[in-house]
Amino acid sequence: MQGAVAEPALAPVTRQVSGSAAPAAVPSGPERGQPLAAAVAELPVLDASGRQVPFGALFRERRAVVVFVRHFLCYICKEYVEDLAKIPKSFLQEADVTLIVIGQSSYHHIEPFCKLTGYSHEIYVDPEREIYKKLGMKRGEEIAASGKSPHIKSNILSGSIRSLWRAVTGPLFDFQGDPAQQGGTLILGPGNNIHFIHRDKNRLDHKPINSVLQLVGVQHVDFTSRPSVIHV
């Protein structure tokens, strides 16, 4: 699949103001069809060893699906990434696409998070959240009907308890990122081309994975099989 990715245009959200519909406020940041600013592409992310890599280098040569998660203790992010881990590398290679997860914790948390989720694709962190901010990722929860996610298995009580337990029993007692930060999904590259961007309104507003994979020509993935990971 060559060139720009074709996807349906997203209709702007509207809200009622004094009896008339007015466009809802959207975060500042780049939009689909606009190039990513060079200054953003030059911002660093860190790999699991703490090595700095320019953000733009991750998708300079090929298209990439880039998923920004809230924080590594978020049980919703954990279960979403568990399903990202099920995407066969051969499917991505056939479509010449890279899959990248970006968190906002210290890089020390990358390896334990990968072991917990079984995730083996590319992963980096943006500890200062500079890229999150430049891309207009939301901070705080917006009340919106997000529907039931096919990727989330836990209910809010059991999921929150597991997250808290991981926080207090981990070697570094922290929340592995700003709990108020929301994530999003982009399709980028080659170069600084933005083909698709979705900013999560709340913790449940992530895009269904197969709907994103379809945009880049990756085969449909069956997410019904459970991963062989330990829930703690």
- pLDDT tens digits, 160-178: 555 554 555 555 555 567 8
pLDDT at 54 over 60: yes
Q: What is the mean pLDDT of residues 74-85?
A: 90
Provide the b/e sequence for 202-230 (b: ≥16 CB within 10 Å). bbbbbbebbebbebbebeebebeeeeeee
Single out the residue of 127, 121, 139 nearest to residue 182, CA to CA.
Answer: 139
Q: What is the mean pLDDT of residues 49-58?
A: 98
- pLDDT reported for residue 192: 95
- pLDDT tens digits, 120-149: 999 999 999 999 999 999 988 777 655 667
pTM here is 0.76
- pLDDT reported for residue 172: 56
Q: Which domains does the chain have, with CATH numbers?
A: 34-214 (3.40.30.10)
Q: What is the mean pLDDT of residues 174-199?
A: 89
